A and B are shown apart, each in its own frame.
Chain A
Amino acid sequence: MSTSQSSTRGRIHDENRLRFAPLRHALRSADAAAIRGALQDVFAPGAAIRLGEPFGELSGPDDLWSCVYQPLLASLPDFERADFILMAGPRWGGAKAGDWVGLGGNIIGTFKSSWLGIPATDAPVFLRYHEYYRIEAGQIVEMEGVWDLPQLMIQAGAWPMAPQPGVEWMCPGPSTCKGVIDKPFDPDAADRSVRLVWDMLHELKHGDVATPGRGLGGYWHPRAAWYGPAGIGSARGHAGIRDVVLSGFRRGLSENTRHLDDGVFFGDDDLVAFTGWPSGTARHTGEGFLGLTPTGETFTRRSLDFWRVEEGQIRENWVLVDMIDLYQQLGINVFERMAALKHKKTARRKPKDRTEQND
C-alpha cells in the first residue's frame, strides 16, 4: 500500500469520527427532537442494532429512539452523554473488511422516574456505555453496544445479586485526556496497538487456576487499571486484576475462550477495541465466578472492550459485559429478582402504597 493510498484510506476514519459530531452534540442536549433528528441523519433506516438485555435486537434509528432514548429521556430528563473515547479504524487482521467507530463514555442525569423497572433515586446517576458502529457509505449500518444497567441498579440500591469484588465508581476515561481522537488516522500506530492486545489475549488464555495472573506480566503496565462492569468492578495493578477478575474466571469457568478470529478488532492511535456478539464462550463448572453455584452450563458472553497502550504496555482497559444476559443463560432473571427487592424498598419508602405488596 503506497503512502497516498494509505492516507486516502486513513481519511475515511477521520471522516467517520467527524460523522458522529452532530449525534454526539445532540446527545448532550436532552432535546428530544434534536436527538431523534441526529439519529435519523446518521443511521441507515434498517441498521442492525444490538444493545443486549433487555433491549434485544432493534432495527434502525426509530427503534433506537422509541425503545431506548425516548424512555431514557422520560426517566432522566436532563441526561447527557459524556464521551471519553471516540476512535475509528478498519477491522484489523488479514482480509477482514469493514470500517468501525468506537464510542465510550458515561450517561449522566437526574434519575427522576423508574426506568426498565429500576427505581428512581431523584438524584444524579451515571451509566457507562461502550458502543461500536460499522459505517458503510457514510451511514451506520450496524451497531453493538452494552450499557452498564447493573451499575444503575447498584446506585438505586436495587442490585439483587452478590456484591462485587472490585471497586464501584464512575470510571474515568483515558488518563491522557486524549481518548476522543482527532488526529489523522495512523495505520502503523493502530496496527502496533492492536498487535500488542492480540498477543496479550493469546497469552492470557493459557492461564489456569494455578497461574491466574498469566498474560499480565510482559503486556500490562504494573499500575494498569482494569475498569470492569458493575457486578465485577474495577481493579488496579497486576495483583488487583488477578484477584478481582482473573482468579474468579479461572476457578469458575472451564473451556473459557474468546472468539478472537471471529470478533472485530480495530485500533486508532493508542486505543484498541474488540467486540463479538458473542465475544466468548465458557462452561460454568466451578465456584468462584460471581459467587454463583456452579451450574455446568455453557454460556456465551457479549463484551465490548477498549484498551489504551502506553509505551508498549497496556495501561488502561475498559470492559463491559452484558451481565444480565449472562445471568439469564445461567437461569437467573436479574430483572425479576430486582423487582422483588425493589418491591421491598418501595414498600419501605412509601407507606401509602402498602397494599401493592399484597398479592
Chain B
Amino acid sequence: MTDVHTDNKSAITPLRAAMVDFEEVSVRAELDRLIAPDAVVHMPHPFGDLIGPEELYDTCYRPLFAAMPDLERRDWIVMGGQTEHGDDWIGCGGHYMGTFVVPWLDIPPTGHLTHLRFHEFYRFVAGRVVEVQTLWDIPEVMMQADVWPMAPSLGLEFCIPGPATMDGLVPGPKDTARSDASCQHVVDMLNHMKKHPSQGGPEAMEMPRFWHERMNWYGPAGIGTGRGIAGFRNWHQIPFLNGMPDRGQYVDEITYHFFGDGDYCAVTGWPNMIQTVTQGGWLGIAPAGQRITMRSLDFWRIEHGKIRENWVMVDILDAYRQLGVDVFARLREFNKARPGGVIPFPVGDI
C-alpha cells in the first residue's frame, strides 16, 4: 500500500540520483521530467523567481556546475507531507559539494572542496512539481572563500551536519499519526515562542518544554550555529529580537506551509516572516525602521518528544537587499584588490 507522499519522494529520487554525479544531460532530463514547464521556481537572491525547469537549469545549475566541475548533491533530509491548506510538499535538505575552480556570482574560487547548503521545497500536483521554494546558502560559500564582506557571525560557522540519527531520508509508508504529532509539537513551540517579547520575557516561550537541552540550532551563514537553549538565545535570538522586536506581529499577511513526516517537521513560505528593523544589534545592521519580509525554510527533528535539531535557512542576502545593501556590490569592491580568474581543473598534479 502506498501513499502520495511516498510516491512524491520516489518521483524526486531520479533527479537526486542524477545530481549525485552531476552531468548536464541527465540533470536536464530529470528536471524536465519532474518539474512542470510553467512551475514557479522561487530561488534565493540574486536568482529571483524563475519559470520551469529550463530556466532553473540555465540560471542556477549551469553556472554552479561550471564553477564546480565535479559537482555532487548530497541529501540528508527528504521528507514529505500535506499542509493544513491541503498542499503536498517534499522538503529536501543537504549540500552541493565540489571543487570550486571558476568564479561563481563573483565569488573567487578556493580551489578546494566547497560546500553549499540547500533547503529545497517542491509542491506536487498529480505527480509533478508545480512550485519550488529553494534557498541555497550563498554566504556560506563567500565565507569559505574568505570574502564575506559583512559583519562576522555570532554563532559557529561550519559544514552543517545532517540528522545525528541518520534517518533524515524518511522512508514510506507515511506514519500519519507520528507525523502529525511532530508537526503539532513545532507549531505549539512556535506559538509559545511568539509570546516573547510581546507578552512577556524569555520564560513566556517555555523553551525547556519544547527543546532538548542539548539541541543544535543550525542557522544560516551570517548568523551561524548555536547549541542548547543558551546558544540559541545568545548567538541568534537575543540580537534578532533586539533588532526587530515586532517579530510575529503580522501573521495575517503571510502563509506558512507546515508539514510533518515521522520525527521530522518542515516549514516553508515565500515569505513567512515580516518584521521591522527598529534597533541595532542584529547582524551589526544600522537600524532605519525598514519593514522587511523574510524567507525562512526550516526542518526540525523530534527526539523523545523534544526538538533535538533544527536546520534553519534564511535568505540573508535578500534581507540585506531590502535594507539597501547589495552584498554582491560590496564583494566586487573588495574584488578590485584580489587576484581573479580561473583555477585549472583538476587542481595541481594528478
Q: Using a CB–CB distance below 8 Å, which chain A residues touch chain B? A: 159-163, 165, 240, 243-244, 247-248, 284, 286-288, 291-297, 327, 330-333, 336-337, 340-341, 343-344, 357-359
Please, which residues of chain B bring their CB within 8 A of the CB of A357? Answer: 230-231, 234
Known: A248-B333, A291-B149, A293-B285. 20 other contacts (CB 8 A): A161-B284, A163-B148, A163-B149, A243-B337, A288-B333, A291-B325, A293-B290, A294-B288, A294-B325, A295-B288, A297-B288, A330-B286, A331-B279, A333-B281, A336-B280, A337-B151, A340-B234, A344-B154, A344-B155, A358-B230
Whether A162 pairs with B150 at a CB distance below 8 angstroms is yes
Listed from nearest, the 4 A-B pairs whose CB atoms lie closest are: A293-B323, A295-B288, A330-B286, A358-B230
Q: Does B329 contact A (CB under 8 A)?
A: yes
Cross-interface CB contact of B281 among A165, A247, A336, cutoff 8 Å: A336
Q: With contacts A293-B323, A295-B288 known, is A337 near B150, CB below 8 A?
A: no
Measured in the bound complex, the distance between the Cα atoms of B148 and A119 in whole Å is 23
Measured in the bound complex, the distance between the Cα atoms of B239 and A161 in whole Å is 14
Cross-interface CB contact of B286 among A240, A332, A343, A359, cutoff 8 Å: A332
Contact count band on B: 35 or more
Q: Does B336 contact A (CB under 8 A)?
A: yes
Please, which residues of chain B bring their CB within 8 A of the CB of A293? Answer: 277, 285-286, 288, 290, 320, 323-325
Per-residue A-contact encoding for B271-297, CB less than 8 Å = 1, 0 else: 000000101110011111010000000
Measured in the bound complex, the distance between the Cα atoms of B150 and A12 in whole Å is 49
Closest residue to A248 on the B side, CB-wise? B333
Interface residues of B in 57-74 (CB under 8 A from A): none
Cross-interface CB contact of A291 among B150, B155, B231, B280, cutoff 8 Å: B150
Please, which residues of chain B bring their CB within 8 A of the CB of A159? Answer: 152
Q: List, sorted by A's number, 23 A–B pairs whose CB atoms are closer than 8 Å.
A: A162-B284, A163-B334, A240-B337, A243-B336, A243-B337, A284-B286, A287-B329, A291-B149, A291-B330, A292-B286, A293-B323, A295-B286, A296-B288, A330-B286, A332-B280, A332-B286, A333-B281, A336-B281, A340-B154, A341-B152, A344-B234, A357-B234, A359-B234
Whether A359 pairs with B334 at a CB distance below 8 angstroms is no
Main secondary structure, interface of A, reads loop
Measured in the bound complex, the distance between the Cα atoms of B286 and A284 in whole Å is 10
Please, which residues of chain A bring their CB within 8 A of the CB of B325? Answer: 287, 291-294
Q: Does B210 contact A (CB under 8 A)?
A: no
Q: Using a CB–CB distance below 8 Å, which chain B residues touch chain A? A: 148-152, 154-155, 230-231, 233-235, 238-239, 277, 279-281, 284-288, 290, 320, 323-326, 329-330, 333-334, 336-337
Q: How far is the CB of B6 from chain A (nearest CB, A)?
A: 42
Cross-interface CB contact of B334 among A165, A332, A336, cutoff 8 Å: A165
Measured in the bound complex, the distance between the Cα atoms of B288 and A333 in whole Å is 14
Please, which residues of chain A bring their CB within 8 A of the CB of B330? Answer: 162, 287-288, 291
Q: How far is the CB of A97 from chain B (nearest CB, A)?
A: 39
Q: How far is the CB of B171 from chain A (nearest CB, A)?
A: 38
Closest residue to B148 on the A side, CB-wise? A163
Whether B288 pairs with A341 at a CB distance below 8 angstroms is no
